[in-house]
């Protein structure tokens, strides 16, 4: 019989706070983490806003040497992973061979990449940092966490654009289910707010251009949405085999009931018509969880605030849930955090677990103008108190990636 898997620890670094408690409080208050870019001068850019993780101190989690030799996306991952393991109370050393790490990043070390381009062309090839490769490649977040924590089980990174974090947690769940680990440290991390990346997404016309009103720029499902807002941070959970967690008296936040991933095989950026790829992932995840659609109470939507994504995600939900779609509570917390891309699924699965724990649903802020094609209950503008038993998190990524993770309230 396959193992049952639970979440026993959680960690986050977000544009709303540098830990779970502060981020969750801000989400329930409906605060926006979006502002004018402060990490570099954006004055020459068409888009000058983003959701940055401000006041984050990597030295709270790494020594000075490790901080200099690693990159911002690794710093975020280390912080969120340390928070999650501390929260779980898991002692890794006695079971190190049975503890793995799956932490993905959509882009890896973009700060290092841009910096070393300048070094190459301004100072010469012999001045490139010997640490450049290990700062840049996406698997170094999970590699660093594994080494720093002594976790010797399965260790790999997922890279599936904005579905990365959800795929990481889903694949870690499957790793425990098939008996290859007792516990997994899993999630997503991203630090992609750089001059080149901001300009590139703006060139694609993917970003909101509400430079003069940044806190209202991310408006998922609203008729006047005009693009997403880049965000940064990390979301990491400790997944654990249920009986192992029970035996050591761990706090259990949620049980992972199901996971599925699919490909649109349609277009490099736009979702498939009718959200067909996401709909397949939803149906498959429900089938694997042995759940009727009517059992789901809440969806933390991908909800990027782009025209096609929100429209097709709504269509997918209607396709799968039928009449029950109108009874679902749905929120896009990207309205507050911005879009953390490879880290989005990580923080949103943490948020979904918190909603189950507290019976509080975070809002979709900036929902002011109903869209006839997005006509479901998006928990507009104010958090809602509602006891829920089953919730899921949707993730979709450029390249046609779809991932769905279903969580259930733990048994009493």
All structural domains of the chain with their residue ranges: 5-247, 258-407
- State the angle between helix axes of 344-358 and 20-29 in degrees (0 to 180), rounded to the nearest 10: 70
pLDDT per position as a tens digit, 1-27: 689 999 999 999 999 999 999 999 999
User: What residue ranges in 191-268 does DSSP mark as E strands?
Assistant: 233-241, 254-263
pLDDT at 303: 97
pLDDT at 46: 97
Cα first-last separation, the chain: 22
pLDDT at 7: 98
pLDDT at 269: 87
pLDDT at 236: 98
Give the closest residue to 355 by CA, choosing from 5, 2, 98, 23: 23
**Mean pLDDT calculated for residue range 339-364:** 98
Q: Which residues of 306-341 are buried (b: 16+ CB within 10 A; e: fewer)?
A: bbebbbbbbbbbbbbbeebbeebbbbbbbbbbbbbb
Euclidean distance between CA atoms 374 and 381, whole angstroms: 16
pLDDT per position as a tens digit, 318-329: 999 999 999 999
3 state DSSP class of 404: strand
What CATH architecture applies to the domain 5-247?
3-Layer(aba) Sandwich (3.40)
Euclidean distance between CA atoms 389 and 319, whole angstroms: 22
pLDDT at 324: 98
Q: Is the pLDDT of residue 107 over 60?
A: yes
Same fold yes or no, 5-247 and 258-407: yes
Active site residues: 162, 302, 339
pLDDT at 61: 97
3 state DSSP class of 140: helix
Q: Is the pLDDT of residue 113 over 70?
A: yes
Write phi, then psi, for 77 (nearest 5 degrees).
-65, -45
**Mean pLDDT calculated for residue range 307-311:** 96
pLDDT at 385: 98
Superfamily covering domain 258-407: Thiolase/Chalcone synthase (3.40.47.10)
pLDDT at 411: 76
pTM: 0.97
- Quote the Cα angle for 137-141-144, to 5°: 110
pLDDT per position as a tens digit, 174-229: 999 999 999 999 999 999 999 999 999 999 999 999 999 999 999 999 999 999 99
Euclidean distance between CA atoms 321 and 324, whole angstroms: 5
Q: Is the pLDDT of residue 412 over 70?
A: no
pLDDT at 147: 97
- Tokens in use for 264? 């649109």
Tell me the average pLDDT of the chain.
97
3 state DSSP class of 190: strand
pLDDT at 375: 97
């Amino acid at each position: 019989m396959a193992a049952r898997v639970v979440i026993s620890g959680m960690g986050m670094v977000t544009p709303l706070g540098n830990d779970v408690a502060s981020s969750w409080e801000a989400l329930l208050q409906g605060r926006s983490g979006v502002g004018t870019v402060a990490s570099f001068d954006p004055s020459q850019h068409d888009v000058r806003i983003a959701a940055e993780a401000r006041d984050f101190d990597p030295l709270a989690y790494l020594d000075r040497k490790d901080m200099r030799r690693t990159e911002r996306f690794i710093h975020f991952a280390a912080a969120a992973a340390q928070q999650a393991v501390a929260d779980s109370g898991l002692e890794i050393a006695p079971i190190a061979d049975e503890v793995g790490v799956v932490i993905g990043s959509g882009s890896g070390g973009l700060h290092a990449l841009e910096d070393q381009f300048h070094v190459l062309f301004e100072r010469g090839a012999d001045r490139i940092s010997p640490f450049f490769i290990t700062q840049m490649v996406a698997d170094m977040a999970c590699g660093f966490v594994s080494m720093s924590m002594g976790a010797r089980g399965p260790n790999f990174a997922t890279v599936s654009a904005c579905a990365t974090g959800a795929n990481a947690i889903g694949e870690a769940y499957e790793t425990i289910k098939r008996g290859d680990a007792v516990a997994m440290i899993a999630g997503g991390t991203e630090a992609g707010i750089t001059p080149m990346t901001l300009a590139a997404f703006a060139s694609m016309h993917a970003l909101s251009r509400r430079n003069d009103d940044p806190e209202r720029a991310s408006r998922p499902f609203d008729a006047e949405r005009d693009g997403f807002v880049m965000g940064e941070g990390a979301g990491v959970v400790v997944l654990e085999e249920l009986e192992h967690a029970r035996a050591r008296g761990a706090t259990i936040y949620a049980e992972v009931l199901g996971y599925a991933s699919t490909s649109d095989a349609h277009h490099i950026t736009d979702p498939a018509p009718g959200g067909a790829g996401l709909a397949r992932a939803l149906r498959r995840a429900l089938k694997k969880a042995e759940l009727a659609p009517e059992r789901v109470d809440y969806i933390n939507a991908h909800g990027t605030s782009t025209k096609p994504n929100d429209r097709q995600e709504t269509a997918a939900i209607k396709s799968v849930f039928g009449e029950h779609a109108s009874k679902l509570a749905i929120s896009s917390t990207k309205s507050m955090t911005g879009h953390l891309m490879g880290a989005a699924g990580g923080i949103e699965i943490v948020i979904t677990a918190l909603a189950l724990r507290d019976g509080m649903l975070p809002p979709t802020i900036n929902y002011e103008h109903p869209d006839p094609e997005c006509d479901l209950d998006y928990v507009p503008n104010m958090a809602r108190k509602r006891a829920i038993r089953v919730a899921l998190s949707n993730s979709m990524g450029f390249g046609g990636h779809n991932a769905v993770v279903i969580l259930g309230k733990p048994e009493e």
